[in-house]
Amino acid sequence: TSQKKKTYIVHMAKSEMPTSYTEHSNWYDSCLKSVSNSAEMLYTYNNVIHGFSTRLTPDEAESLQTQPGILSVLPEVKYELH
Amino acid sequence: TTRTPEFLGIDKNEGLFPESDSLSDVVIGVLDTGAWPESKSFDDLGLGPVPSSWKGECEISKDFNSSSCNKKLIGARFFSKGYEATLGPIDESKESKSPRDDDGHGTHTSTTAAGSAVDGASLFGYALGTARGMATRARVAVYKVCWLGGCFSADILAGMDKAVDDGVNVLSLSLGGGVSDYYRDSVAIGAFTAMERGILVSCSAGNAGPGSDSLSNVAPWITTVGAGTLDRDFPAYVSLGNGKNFSSVSLYSGKPLPDSLQSFVYAGNASTASNGNLCMMGTLSPEKVAGKIVLCDRGINARVQKGAVVKDAGGAGMILANTAANGEELVADAHLLPATGVGQKTGDLIKSYIFSDPNPTATIIFAGTKVGIQPSPVVAAFSSRGPNSITPEILKPDLIAPGVNILAGWSGAVGPTGLAVDTRRVGFNIISGTSMSCPHVSGLAALLKAAHPDWSPAAIRSALMTTAYNTYKSGQNILDIATGKPSTPFDHGAGHVDPVSALDPGLIYDITADDYLDFLCALKYTPAQISSLAKRNFTCDTKKYSVTDLNYPSFAVPLVTEQSGGDSGSSVVRYTRTLTNVGTPGTYKVSLSSSASESVKISVEPDSLSFSKVNEKLSYTVTFTTSSMPSGTNAFGRLEWSDGKHVVGSPIAISWS
């Protein structure tokens, strides 16, 4: 149960993108694949954050947090109408 | 909405507000449950072409086609990947995988902000009038991020990301989550970028009142809106067998109760369940309630569901009694059976009668719509309250606006109660919440944006706050319905919005994106946390940052009570503010009032500011000299600058913990 996948929002430091990448989305994808072969991006965010959302196990999320260029890996939060 | 334009004074002051060209260039983005495009409130009659800068789209799906959008509803998108990733594929037999609003909430909020005028709008004849949004000529773009199972942050961020890119000018979010640091809160994160791009973000304060520390959406770059009442009511009268009569409220429309008194029973005595008094599903004994009026206690399940439970059990009617959690606040509902809501005190009196009479009887008489109710506004009991639990030095909510019994557009997919068993369909519905007050401010912000296109989001908020009122014409402070006593800045912020005054505030407290970065430094955020919000590298300087230096239009002064045996001397706290002249040259003089002059001394230096030109900036310092007070003590005050024509007011809240 502890390794059940959850949605995370991954904040990237765009300025730290290695020069070998020309598209930040490719860099995001590469970072994600480094911790999970099966994970797919739900959204890529370009304006309000630099980063993406994806489904990861807690271990994968922890591992991703240690990768260079990752600012934070935050679990998804449910909001409610007021 | 009906009545709120009159209540806010924007119906008789149309000439003061911007002409069509500037206002129709303003786009309000609403993140919510989507829109019902067939609503008359989305009629685009008289609107010109969509602004050329607009990059948004009308996303097509099987129940939402290109003609669903027009020159009023200029954008409609939906974001469900986060929702579906967590809860599985959307069941399209229950909700539309499209921007279409199956809930009603999104149609209500978006039409409140910017709906076109619709004559003869009402809910079953209640609240009859011309329904219009606050900014009738502004455009609307909806971003559906909320679904039957809730609103997920991955979708909210995606909606904000797109809205910013599309080119909205105002963002309206009537939703909230738990309290968390700004760098963890998706709404705060998205709002930061929006603010940087000149977009005002208006959010609901939450419905977790009247308890303190109950606010959502408290980031200082967000405009946080609490809720107050209108001067309108929907009275119903409860008559008891002992001859006593009580006032209540209801939106019931249908076959009335018989003229004669009916048998009357307390739900708690008509159930074998320990919580039978709440009229939860399946808890009432039909043989004990059949043909009777049932008294249910408010709480746990939806108010309208209690009515449905009574109806299912064969009850003839329902009286819904508030408990201590709601006090005397009366929220009207379009119940499925003759039903009405009463305050706690009335509920207690009615219960006394039921328990003392072996054969209690009652009836309910419905009396339609009444306007001119005084005092109004009063702060709604449900409206979330300060202090701000994330940054106590920033006073929240910022202000209050109408949020109780608001009529606005509704979805054709659901009845006015939202219950599955409610097969009625209405074009307009009457509901309550800070969800309803938020889009009022969003629409009013659009009016200000059109009138002052060069104003920053902080300037617009400042104008709304410093011109808000916190007293009635009698001079008495706005009341809090939860207590029946005067409300405080922790309840109403700067006060109730006054859009006509906000058009010409005289002075404003402006805040730039860099100022907010300094604020984050003062919070001792790490570079990564700041970068998450600002999306760029920013290194805090070695200089001393202070949260209290943020040029906010209000003052919150949190103090720590000294422990016994410690130094019992007074403490001195200084706040610096800068005012920008947006009016004519003039000299402003300061005045102060405080509820606790013995424990707090407040001084302002200088006490006079002379502005010789537009956009001139002048600073002042407020010094709070306070004595130690017991933990939990609060003191309140108000600081006003006036040139004789304008009054630029700021609330003060001092708290000891």
pLDDT in tens, B520-533: 999 999 999 999 99
List of chain A residues whose C-beta atoms are within 8 Å of the C-beta of residue B85: 7, 42, 55
8 Å CB contact of B177 and A78: yes
Cβ–Cβ gap B190/A80 under 8 Å? no
The answer to whether the Cβ–Cβ distance between A79 and B150 falls below 8 Å is: yes
Tens of pLDDT along B428-485?
A: 999 999 999 999 999 999 999 999 999 999 999 999 999 999 999 999 999 999 999 9
Task: Using pLDDT thresholds of 50, 70 and 90, give the confidence band for residue B552.
Answer: very high
Nearest to A13 among B85, B438, B531 (CB): B531
CA–CA dist A26, A45 (Å, integer): 13
Please tell me which residue of chain A has the smallest CA distance to B32: A81
Predicted confidence at residue B19, as pLDDT, reads 65
DSSP B212: S
What is the spatial distance between Cα B541 and Cα B544, in angstroms, rounded to a whole number? Answer: 8
CB contact under 8 A, B86 and A7: yes
Residue B263: pLDDT over 80: yes
A34: contact with B, CB 8 A cutoff: no
Q: Rounded distance, CA B349 to CA B351, Å?
A: 5
A14 CA to chain B: closest CA distance, Å?
A: 8
CB-count burial class (<10 Å; 0-12, 13-18, 19+) for B301: middle
State the Cα–Cα distance between residues B234 and B251, nearest whole angstrom.
7
Mutate to test the interface with A, among B203, B531, B536 (most CBs of A within 10 A): B531
User: Residue range B495-508: average pLDDT?
Assistant: 98
For A50, name the nearest residue in chain B, comparing CA atoms only.
B535
Residue B13 has pLDDT above 90, yes or no: no
Distance CA B175, CA B216 (A): 9
CB within 8 Å: B175 and A53: no
Residue with the two structure tokens 């808000």: B468
pLDDT of residue A5: 95
From the list A11, A76, A80, the residue facing B175 with the nearest CB is A80
CB pairs under 8 A between A and B: 127
For B531-541, the pLDDT digits (tens) are: 999 998 888 99
What is the ipTM for the molecules in this complex? 0.98
Rg (CA), chain B: 25
Q: Does A77 touch chain B (CB under 8 A)?
A: yes
Tokens of A19: 């020069």
DSSP states of B43-61 as a string?
--TT--SPPTT----B--B
Query: What is the amino acid identity at position B264?
Result: F
Q: Which residues of B633-654 are buried (b: 16+ CB within 10 A; e: fewer)?
A: ebbbbbbbbbbeebbbbbbbbb
Q: Is B32 a catalytic residue?
A: yes
Number of other CB atoms surrounding residue A41 within 10 Å: 17
The angle formed by the CA atoms of residues B170, B176 and B181, to the nearest 5 degrees, is 100
Distance CA(B628)–CA(B563), nearest Å, equals: 10
Q: Are B317 and B342 in contact (CB under 8 A)?
A: no
| B435 vs A contacts (CB less than 8 Å) | 81-82
pLDDT at B220 (0 to 100):
98
Cα B169 to Cα A45, B371, B429, B449, B559, distances in angstroms: 20, 34, 27, 8, 38
pLDDT band per the 50, 70, 90 thresholds, residue B568: low
Contacts of B337 (CB under 8 A, 6+ apart): B252, B254, B307, B310, B311, B315, B316, B317, B318
Q: Is the pLDDT of residue B22 over 60?
A: yes
Q: Are A12 and A73 in contact (CB under 8 A)?
A: no
Flag if A47 and B86 touch (Cβ within 8 Å).
no
Q: Residues near B471 by Cβ (< 8 Å), separated by ≥ 6?
A: B477, B478
* B488: exposed, middle or buried (Cβ count in 10 Å: 0-12, 13-18, 19+): buried
pLDDT in tens, B288-338: 999 999 999 999 999 999 999 999 999 999 999 999 888 888 889 999 999
- Between B561 and B464, the more confident residue is B464
Residue B198 DSSP SS3: coil
Q: Identify whether B105 is a catalytic site residue.
A: yes
A76·B86 Cβ contact <8 A? yes
Provide the pLDDT confidence category of residue B563 given band limits of 50, 70 and 90: low
Kindly state the average pLDDT of the residues B376-396.
97
Residue B565 has pLDDT above 70, yes or no: no
Residue type, A69: G
B158 and A45 within 8 Å at the Cβ level: the answer is yes
Torsion of CA B606, B611, B614, B615, to 10 degrees: -20
Q: Exposed, middle or buried: residue B146 (CB in 10 Å: 0-12, 13-18, 19+)? A: buried
Give the minimum alpha-carbon distance from A9 to chain B in angstroms, rounded to a whole number.
Answer: 7
Structure tokens at B240: 């008891």
Q: Widest CA span of chain B, in angstroms?
A: 79
Per the residue annotation, which of B96, B105, B204, B452 is the catalytic one? B105
Chain B interface includes A82 (CB < 8 A): yes
Bridge partners of residue B571, in order along the sequence:
B626
Q: Is B510 a catalytic residue?
A: no
In chain B, positions 141-160, which contact chain A (CB-CB < 8 Å)?
146, 150-154, 156-158, 160
